[in-house]
Amino acid sequence: MTHQLSSPDFHGEEKEQVTSIGQIKPELYRPKGDQGEGKQGDTCGKISFLLRYAFNTEQLVVKILKALDLPAKDANGFSDPYVKIYLLPDRKKKFQTKVHRKTLNPVFNETFQFGVPLNELHSRKLHFSVYDFDRFSRHDLIGQVVVDNLLDFSEGSGDKPVWRDIVEGTAEKADLGELNFSLCYLPTAGRLTATIIKATNLKAMDLTGFSDPYVKASLVCDGRRLKKRKTSIKKNTLNPTYNEALVFDIPNENIESVSIVIAVMDYDCIGHNEVIGMCRVGSEADGPGREHWAAMLANPRKPIEHWHQLVEVMYYKPMLTSSLSRQFC
């Protein structure tokens, strides 16, 4: 069981330290292509946190306090930092702080809990990843911290701040999240139902550290989008639950010639809605998408549920309208 505490029970919080004005920062004068790409092992600031183990509930309680002297990732001489935290080896269970704008010394003061039995504590490691938020592109990895020997921390009261150097690492693969949905095809009715169940660990698109996600499914043939359906919007979450059915009418003789492109979108009431990540299912899709489609066809009238890793935006080159495309218009 994991959840974020709304009222931290740690004491002795420290105020943010202000750096001196006019201090020269060499990282601001590096060529743009060199920013954030130093060799692995370089330090890039420090992070402070509190750790304690709650024996009665078997919870590892982590409070991220602040970071100091982070490198500037943006042209304005600052970064927009936030922290992701995992309890290795399980990377699917993670927490994330809020984003702090235009600072190299963010104060977080956010508390999280990981459910872990005491007899497993010696084999687990706490992993911090510090990122620079970017609204319109992939977030930059600033650096990482790995804390082992967690059993040692269980013996303390958890009121003494722990400081660790943030170690610069190579860029991680884009972590956009996963989507769980089922496919069911009725050959006699020529009807395909995609039931969007839920998504987990979506990329944060808003400065609050959350997104407003909805799912859009498009029926595609010969590179042309024929029909589209979408779910409701879930506000301020990275782990939305939908349980909503999206229905497409596809004649049985055409089912092998189409695919479904599913995009998880972030709703924006002011600007344009942004794509968080996508996946594709169909006879010509890659790996998991092709396997899911084949399992659906092999089991008519039965919902087949799979998890899909979201990837970055897919582009489908428009092609000449075929006779099949005209059937759906």
Q: What is the pTM of this model?
A: 0.52
Question: Looking at domain 177-319, which CATH architecture does it have?
Answer: Sandwich (2.60)
- Spell out the residues 6+ positions from residue 81 whose beta carbon is closer than 8 angstroms to its own: 67, 70, 99, 100, 103, 104, 106, 130, 131, 132, 133, 142
Determine the pLDDT at residue 30.
Answer: 41
The closest of 328, 309, 188, 181 to 258, measured between CA atoms, is: 328
C-alpha span between 144 and 129 (Å, rounded)? 5
Determine the pLDDT at residue 120.
Answer: 86
Please count the CA atoms within 13 angstroms of the CA of 197 that sit on its side-chain side: 13
> How far is CA 19 from each of CA 15, 25, 69, 80, 106, rounded to the nearest angstrom?
13, 11, 9, 17, 12
Assess contact for 262 and 244: CB atoms under 8 A.
no
Assess whether the region 44-169 and the region 177-319 belong to the same CATH fold.
yes
The closest of 233, 284, 277 to 257, measured between CA atoms, is: 284
Q: pLDDT tens string for the chain (329 positions)?
A: 444 443 334 444 444 444 444 444 444 444 333 433 334 457 789 999 999 998 889 999 999 999 999 998 888 888 999 999 988 877 667 888 999 999 999 999 999 999 988 888 888 889 899 988 876 666 788 999 988 888 887 777 678 899 999 988 655 555 788 899 999 999 999 999 999 999 998 888 877 778 899 999 999 988 788 899 999 999 999 999 999 999 999 999 999 899 999 999 999 887 788 889 999 999 888 888 999 999 999 999 999 999 998 887 654 433 333 444 444 43
323, containing H or E segment: helix 323-328
Assess contact for 82 and 98: CB atoms under 8 A.
yes
Domain boundaries, the chain: 44-169, 177-319
Question: Looking at domain 44-169, which CATH architecture does it have?
Answer: Sandwich (2.60)
The residues with which 147 forms a beta bridge, in sequence order, are 126
Determine the pLDDT at residue 173.
Answer: 53
